Chains A and B, each alone.
Chain A
């Protein structure tokens, strides 16, 4: 492998590239989807290929192929140089990558049980058991469950002498029950929304989630939601968000606006820009004093945990918000150099056929001091909302509106009636400045978001978000009128 990669780098340089890197990626994904007792999909997917990124006179070119032969490596390398020369025809800023990256080494996700050693029968058995448990709840129309395991091997080399080899293992799974009645459709998910929870880890996490043991409960909740009270309409109230919803709130309203390529306009036409412009770094009150947010690629289980990013920069942790003040970005070599800084290792490509972009690693809200029951007891009136159902945010990540699968009213420090169709909206810094309490480590979970879209051509990234339930004051809730 190293010889083929060196061949590409040498050829790129002899064709005029001032810098080149090559990634070879080989991934295997095994997924099972069960719906209403029927195995809808039991899939083994294999993908292999390479991508070559070159800089010629400060302009980028990238080409990729699924054919890992020497001849194709030569063709693709020359093509990437041709593309870079075309990029240079339009002029504009010339890329400065800053200090060279010379990382060398090997990394593998630590797992207790390699999920690929677990038999198909055992994996399928868990989903069919979960399906049977959901079927106990009368009134559930659609029962869905799924498991996915991924092993991605990745080799990276650049013309600055870096060479790294990584094996990342991900395991994910979940159940969703959907109930239908009289024009109303309600779903409940476990352990996370959008079908599944996902982490870097082994089979041990699936056993901990106990999908069959939670399936009847969430199915009953879906049925109960059909006749639950609607979320109070257009009201200003206190909201406590469950940890899973806080994770998505962090992802959308903090994780994306701290991507430095967005700040510099690279994503303006598609994903958008950011309200966290560079003059705010170190001088902007993003949230209240209890708000501390960290980006890292080293915490166990995080979907953003790895050895090196796709520019060969080592995994590390970066403070993003400290006691409410905005102090850090997610950066690449190119964007960090524009700020006079050094990359903090956030360049990630979704596969061999895509360039690395600045992507979230694990962007996490640090735990606070509260027990959840104490936080509820401390809240006179409000709504406890959990598990994301819909999410929308503007192109600067300023104005957002989210919906959750389920809510409960809080009345004089106690949970009251179940609420359906809960929504809330706000402006990002106002919202985080109204955060006055965060639950402690006992309630903190590393949530996985395996469906983060960005870039053209589109890329789906897997990101991690540690979060615990948190309380927000003066929130506008109940936007959807029924």
Chain B
């Protein structure tokens, strides 16, 4: 960890080199550790320390960008020289709204010293426990246990200086037998909130219950989804449409649906950067404080999330959801996403299902068509046929091709428990409940 003072000094060194040119620096410092295991032993075990500076320099309305992880004088000199050279050759950018002004940044809990200090031995002990459980049941355990700490700093020559230190922990386990598997995940910013043994027991049970799966026909089924599967629905809807850039480019599922009720009454989705029950960050990558955004309220499409560029174009106010300038083309996205819990237990949702499928997880999901967010993917790590309100038997994995917008229109139940999960891409966090959906289209079978 650099600490606030040293991070501020580095930014000042960059601005000193920039002279009178307006400029912005995004500093991202990280110390990350990841223990990976398979076949019930640790086969990869890694650590990384890095500090990255992304500089945006302005010459009038011309923008130049440069990135480095070299903090020595030569590295900082080249950073500024190349940002300036890039600005000089760029045409004027009519869309860029200029550097933001300083703002008050509220503090939010997101740093845990125990997580930051978690050692390779601590991780090995937890992984060893999981491998023991798995091995005792004749199963094959694999997965990761990662812990780390990061600092995010946004500073500009207008006086913005925003600093946030945070920690992260993620335990992902897959327990597999000859023809079945179970998977569980615990994520968050406090390693103490991850209950390794309990997660292991759940995964082992799913793998045991899933033995001797049968083939069933593809077609339309009622589904009861765990939070892991729901997370995929929310993330795909986020990546392909909750940001204002996707709306501007008419590729979002929100297009032509703003203010309309297109999902079940039971669906409430929002983003809240300040909510510590997710993975909070008080400001975005331009240094703008994050605002809560209600994205879907009781099934009605309310609003995408904005950064300053898209807000300016659409006559709105930024909600503080800018990505780093190197990802500008993608536009803003939600980063601390929530779906409201309901009142049903998972058992209730199964009991109320005459015939359907209980799905633990979706996998390798990809966009087939954007406007209805049509997605194809596979089930994985536990699929069971529900008959007469009970899990009847495990079934082989299926491929689905389904509009996620239509799926959320057919939500009949939402679980009263949610689970916090972090995405492998970009530190995005989602707190998701389980769902019961009355019709979901499966289009293929595995051998």
Chain A residues packing against B (C-beta within 8 Å): 33, 35, 38-49, 59-67, 76, 79-80, 82-84, 86-87, 89-93, 120-121, 124, 128, 141-142, 144, 178, 180, 183-185, 264-270, 353-355, 389-396, 398-399, 401, 403, 421, 423, 425, 427, 456-458, 479-481
Query: Could you tell me if B376 and A392 are in contact, using CB atoms closer than 8 angstroms?
Result: yes
Bound state CA distance, A44 and B54, in angstroms? 10
Q: Answer yes or no: B121 CB below 8 A from chain A CBs.
A: yes
Q: Answer yes or no: B194 CB below 8 A from chain A CBs.
A: no
**Chain A min CB distance to B127 (Å):** 6
Residues on A with C-beta less than 8 A from B376 are: 390, 392, 401, 423, 479-480
**Chain A min CB distance to B233 (Å):** 15
Interface size class of B (residues with CB under 8 A): 35 or more
What 3 pairs across the A-B complex have the smallest Cβ distances? Answer: A92-B41, A86-B120, A44-B82
Bound state CA distance, A200 and B55, in angstroms? 28
Q: From A31, which residue of chain B is reached at the shortest CB distance?
A: B326
Q: Answer yes or no: B347 CB below 8 A from chain A CBs.
A: no
Task: Known A-B contacts: A42-B63, A65-B50, A269-B173. Give 8 more (CB < 8 A).
Answer: A60-B43, A92-B43, A121-B89, A124-B90, A185-B251, A266-B43, A401-B443, A425-B444
Residues on A with C-beta less than 8 A from B378 are: 392, 394-395, 399
Query: Could you tell me if A42 and B89 are in contact, using CB atoms closer than 8 angstroms?
Result: yes
Residues on A with C-beta less than 8 A from B370 are: 185
Q: Answer yes or no: B342 CB below 8 A from chain A CBs.
A: no
Q: From B51, which residue of chain A is reached at the shortest CB distance?
A: A66
Our pick among A47, A142, A265, A456 for the contact of B249 (Cβ within 8 Å) is: A142
Q: List residues 122-143 of chain B with CB under 8 A from any CB of chain A.
A: 123-125, 127-128, 131, 140, 142-143
Given contacts A46-B78, A92-B42, A395-B380, contact A268 B124 (CB under 8 A): no
Our pick among A45, A93, A124 for the contact of B89 (Cβ within 8 Å) is: A124
Query: Could you tell me if B38 and A266 are in contact, using CB atoms closer than 8 angstroms?
Result: yes
Our pick among B131, B142, B363, B368 for the contact of A394 (Cβ within 8 Å) is: B363
Q: Answer yes or no: B86 CB below 8 A from chain A CBs.
A: yes
Query: Could you tell me if B424 and A480 are in contact, using CB atoms closer than 8 angstroms?
Result: no
Residues on B with C-beta less than 8 A from A66 are: 49-51, 69-70
Given contacts A38-B94, A399-B446, contact A265 B38 (CB under 8 A): yes
Residues on B with C-beta less than 8 A from A399 are: 378, 397, 399, 444-447
Q: From A124, which residue of chain B is reached at the shortest CB distance?
A: B89
Residues on B with C-beta less than 8 A from A396 are: 446
Bound state CA distance, A471 and B347, in angstroms? 49
Query: Could you tell me if B68 and A45 are in contact, using CB atoms closer than 8 angstroms?
Result: yes
Q: Answer yes or no: B367 CB below 8 A from chain A CBs.
A: yes
Query: Could you tell me if A63 and B47 are in contact, using CB atoms closer than 8 angstroms?
Result: yes
Our pick among A83, A121, A180 for the contact of B120 (Cβ within 8 Å) is: A83
Q: What are 29 A-B residue pairs whose CB atoms fall within 8 Å in the complex?
A: A38-B93, A42-B63, A44-B67, A46-B70, A46-B78, A61-B120, A64-B50, A65-B49, A80-B47, A89-B125, A120-B86, A180-B251, A184-B371, A185-B371, A265-B39, A266-B43, A268-B176, A269-B143, A269-B172, A392-B366, A392-B376, A394-B364, A399-B445, A399-B446, A421-B369, A423-B401, A456-B144, A458-B424, A480-B369
Bound state CA distance, A86 and B119, in angstroms? 9
Residues on B with C-beta less than 8 A from A264 are: 39
Bound state CA distance, A325 and B38, in angstroms? 29
Q: Answer yes or no: B250 CB below 8 A from chain A CBs.
A: yes
